[in-house]
Amino acid sequence: MEVTEKVVILKTGKFKENDLWVKYLSATRGVQTAFAFGGSRSRRRFGGCFEPFSQVLFKTGANKTGTYQALQEGSLIKAYSGIRADIRKMGLAANCLKFVEAAVAEREDSRRVFALLTETLDVIDEFDPDDFFPLFFRAKVAFEQGYTPDFTICSRCGKPLFSSRPVVFDVKKGGIECFDCAGNAAGDVISVGTLRTLAWIQDTGPANWTALELPAVIRQECFAVMDRFMAYHLGLVWEGSNYRKI
Ligand SMILES: [Zn+2]
C-alpha cells in the first residue's frame, strides 16, 4: 500500500553504503521508520529530505511481504534554516524531537502532536525562545495525549481554584486539590503561579509561549512537577541525553 503524507524527520542513519533508514513523525500514523534505498546518492528523488527537523512530503510503499516500508519520493516542505544556523536553537529543537520519538507510539492519528511539533519548530526557527520552551512543549504533548488535569477546579470539593493560596497536585490521580481540602492529600504542593502557568499552557499554543516571562521559582516548580507527572503517566524520564521508558 502506498502512502503520501507530511512528516517531520526525527533521525536518519546509514545501513549500507548508499542506503539509509529514516525515523519520522507522520501526521497521520505516529512515529514510523522507513528505508531509503539509494537515499544517500539520489538527489532527484530525495533532495534535502533527510535532515533532522525538516518537514517533508513522503511517498512510501510496503515491500511485498509487508515487513518494512520503503521511501519512494520525498519533497522538502520546510528546512528550518533558522534552527540549523544556531546551535542553541538546535538543542531546543532536538530536545522536542527526542521527546516525540519516545512519547508517541505507532498509532493512527497523530495530527495534534504533529501540528504542535511543527508549530513549535516554527517558533524556535523564527524567534528566540528561552531554555524552558521544550518543557512547555513536553507538557502540552502530555495534555494532547489525553493526560489533562483540570487546573481550574478542586478535584475533591469542586470549588474553583481562584484563591491565592497554594494547592496540591496529585500527580498520580492527575487532580488538583484546594488549600481547604489538601490537609490529608498526597501530592506536590504548588503555588498558584505554577497552577496558572500550567492551565495557560493547556489552553494555548507555542506561538503564545515566547511572551511568557516567568519567575525562576515558578519555572523550577513547573519543571519538577511536570517531569514527575510525565514519568508517571507517559513512563518517560530524561537520562543523560535521551528519554528512557521506565
Ligand atoms: Zn477543595
Confidence label for 163 from pLDDT (cuts 50, 70 and 90): confident
Every domain range in the chain assigned CATH 2.40.50.140? 1-128
Asked if pLDDT for residue 183 goes beyond 90, the answer is: no
How confident is the model at residue 206, as a pLDDT? Answer: 96
114 Cα: distance to centroid of ligand 1 (angstroms): 36
How confident is the model at residue 185, as a pLDDT? Answer: 67
176 Cα: distance to centroid of ligand 1 (angstroms): 8
CB atoms within 10 A of CB 12: 19
State the pTM of this model: 0.91
182 Cα: distance to centroid of ligand 1 (angstroms): 7
62 Cα: distance to centroid of ligand 1 (angstroms): 54
Confidence label for 105 from pLDDT (cuts 50, 70 and 90): confident
Task: Share the mean pLDDT of the chain.
Answer: 90
Burial of 2 (0-12, 13-18, 19+ CB in 10 A): exposed
Q: Which CATH number fits domain 1-128: 1.10.8.50, 3.20.20.10, 2.40.50.140, 3.40.470.10?
A: 2.40.50.140
